[in-house]
Chains A and B, each alone.
Chain A
Amino acid sequence: DAKTTQPNSMESNEEEPVHLPCNHSTISGTDYIHWYRQLPSQGPEYVIHGLTSNVNNRMASLAIAEDRKSSTLILHRATLRDAAVYYCILKSYVAGGTSYGKLTFGQGTILTVHP
């Protein structure tokens, strides 16, 4: 599976926008970019995913570079509840292969939100 690179940690103030970067220079044409987050002592939570075009949902926006080698998760107004580890994951689909739909978690970015 193609790897992703994220900063270990980032900080933000409440009510301010947060841009969480992710590099995936070896992404393949069929890889989807998924973002999940994990609050302390909880299972991960789906945030957003995309393939080529920018995506918006009620939680966040995903901006994907034109060459798809990087992406940015945007939280428009950070709240204290957004403090979590954010994982950028490339999800491969290999027909009949053993990597079918698997998510490979890296270390993620620890987001701290200050009041």
Chain B
Amino acid sequence: GAVVSQHPSRVICKSGTSVKIECRSLDFQATTMFWYRQFPKQSLMLMATSNEGSKATYEQGVEKDKFLINHASLTLSTLTVTSAHPEDSSFYICSASVGSRSYNEQFFGPGTRLTVL
């Protein structure tokens, strides 16, 4: 299957700093990318959907000014956690799809574990 990479795989930062996470589709062009967050022992929660060249669509309850998403090209999307706090510590996972129809599978990245001290 298609490969999606994330960088970094793990990051530790101090409270109040901003952290950028990159998501890349390595061997295909992703028309749509998704960002998820997963707390320990819980399921994945969709944060936002982004289409190349347009603004991201955030899920209800997700602060768009805190979680900045940029989808500048068909192979790269970034998530910036601004002014991170300990409660933002989580496992952040991106996925990419070559289409948005219901039968298109999503390819997931390996995840980024964020720890805010």
Task: Give A residues with C-beta under 8 Å from B.
Answer: 30-32, 34, 36, 38, 41-46, 49, 51, 87, 91-93, 98, 100-108
Total interface residues in chain B, CB < 8 Å: 31
Across-interface contacts of A98 in B (CB, < 8 A): 57
4 closest pairs, A vs B, by CB? A93-B102, A101-B100, A43-B108, A105-B44
A43–B110 touching, CB < 8 Å: yes
A100–B100 touching, CB < 8 Å: yes
A30–B102 touching, CB < 8 Å: yes
A42–B110 touching, CB < 8 Å: yes
A49–B46 touching, CB < 8 Å: no
State A44–B6 Cα separation when bound (angstroms): 13
Nearest A residue (CB) for B103? A32
State A45–B6 Cα separation when bound (angstroms): 15
Nearest B residue (CB) for A94? B102
A93-B102, A101-B32, A101-B106 known; 12 other A-B pairs, CB under 8 Å? A42-B110, A43-B6, A43-B93, A44-B108, A46-B105, A91-B102, A100-B100, A101-B49, A101-B102, A103-B46, A105-B45, A106-B43
State A102–B36 Cα separation when bound (angstroms): 11
The majority secondary structure among interface residues of chain B is strand
State A92–B101 Cα separation when bound (angstroms): 8
State A84–B106 Cα separation when bound (angstroms): 18
A44–B44 touching, CB < 8 Å: yes
Which of A49, A104, A105 is in CB contact (< 8 Å) with B103?
A49
Q: Could you list 7 examples of A-B contacts with CB < 8 Å?
A: A34-B105, A43-B6, A43-B110, A45-B108, A46-B106, A49-B103, A107-B43
B43–A102 touching, CB < 8 Å: no
Across-interface contacts of B113 in A (CB, < 8 A): 41
State A32–B97 Cα separation when bound (angstroms): 15
A104–B102 touching, CB < 8 Å: no
B34–A42 touching, CB < 8 Å: no
